[in-house]
A and B are shown apart, each in its own frame.
Chain A
């Protein structure tokens, strides 16, 4: 299988003995093809993920606020979320193509969907985590419902939101590899390409995959640090 219309990136490079002999991992190939294969794929992957998570977060947050105010809205949204989660990712991408073509839009719609279904329950749970006496005190002091929401409930929801973001970012980076079934972009492309060769090319598979994993772990760590920075009250001894 190849993605329709995708450019063929020269494989096997200049054919060192390691490569032609298909050893386990060839550093020289990696160094040689960083500029034309792995580097761009990584950059594309970051771009795909960043857009998906940003858009997904905005949508999930808005929906969560809605579900928080109208508890009855939470059930239907949760059911839809469960359906999306169990829908095979390769199918979702394909199904969007007739509507939005072989474009970034298709990929992003699919990725945003997955991000949404991960973030939504986490944000809702976070908003509900404020202790009742804190809400009562806020009301009694004369904070409007909106002020209570944004000055009290949302800050207290931050740990759960950051937790959800961590999971969403890592998952999206992994799922974004499937985008290569539609577009020859992202770190999935080298993998799909190399696996379809008569003899699967190990180095390309491993290097692209390891890059994806490393990207995910780095982003996760960054979010942990960000999370600590925005929740100073959780760091002091009780």
Chain B
């Protein structure tokens, strides 16, 4: 790999790179969002129902909380490599690899959210004659929404910010630029990275807006800090 010389103008050059290559960056960004979106969707499909059900049944806390621990310990390059060997080169191997990364936060937070709903509220609902599914949909899920959304947000940002590594396995996206300093030089690497950050921020903001729009007014929203800090809110 060719390494550029040190340079305080690199940041300015990065901005120029962005200005000069809107088409390229847009295409790559779209690729990356496609991949990320698919990965998050897959993870949601698997982890969200599982987390909600486990939380509702107050079972499987070990699995639910351990999933995050395990997910966190998976090196992203390892995931990419494994699925490359298993599924071959293509869209699917990277999608699955990134989805694995997203499982942890979604599962754990969905579990904690539903499991942690105020017992008194559930008890009152049962006393009023709500069925099990009624309790789940009308009481537990709405009250669990803040935590569920936190899990989705953290997962989404993790996937978007990690997706560049898929370039090592033909995944495309902005990683094609970031992993290719030889062609695009440091200004390109930095420029593409800034785009990744912007994408992450955008995804975060979008999901936050979605949360505000869909959460009933009476449900308290936990104080939102930042993705790294939110990771820490999971069970000790």
Distance, CA A1 to CA B165, complexed state (A): 13
| Interface stretch of the complex, out of B33-41, B55-63, B119-127, B187-195 | B187-195
Q: Are B82 and A206 in contact (CB under 8 A)?
A: yes
Q: Are B226 and A188 in contact (CB under 8 A)?
A: no
Please tell me which one of the listed residues A1, A86, A205 contacts residue B227 in the complex, with CB atoms under 8 A apart.
Answer: A86
Please tell me which one of the listed residues A90, A195, A212 contacts residue B169 in the complex, with CB atoms under 8 A apart.
Answer: A195
Which residues of chain A (1-20) have a CB below 8 Å from chain B? 1-4
B179 at the interface (CB under 8 A from A): yes
Which residues of chain B (141-179) have a CB below 8 Å from chain A? 157, 160-162, 164-165, 168-169, 174-175, 178-179
Q: How far is the CB of A135 from chain B (nearest CB, A)?
A: 20
Q: Is the interface of A mostly helix, strand, loop or mixed?
A: helix
A184 at the interface (CB under 8 A from B): no
A132 at the interface (CB under 8 A from B): no
Q: Please give, as numbers and ranges, the residues of chain A lying within 8 Å of B200 by CB-CB distance.
A: 86
Which residues of chain A (182-238) have a CB below 8 Å from chain B? 187-188, 191-192, 194-196, 200, 202, 205-206, 208-209, 212-213, 216-217, 220, 227
Q: Are A95 and B3 in contact (CB under 8 A)?
A: no
- Determine the interface band of chain B, counting residues with CB < 8 A from chain A: 35 or more
Q: Which of B73, B186, B225, B227 has the most CB of A within 10 A?
A: B73
Q: Are B6 and A98 in contact (CB under 8 A)?
A: yes
Q: Are B69 and A91 in contact (CB under 8 A)?
A: no
Q: Are A117 and B189 in contact (CB under 8 A)?
A: no
Q: How far is the CB of A130 from chain B (nearest CB, A)?
A: 17
A62 at the interface (CB under 8 A from B): no
Known A117-B228, A167-B231, A209-B78; judge A102-B164 contact (CB<8 A).
Answer: no
Q: How far is the CB of A4 from chain B (nearest CB, A)?
A: 5
| Interface stretch of the complex, out of A31-39, A75-83, A144-152 | A75-83
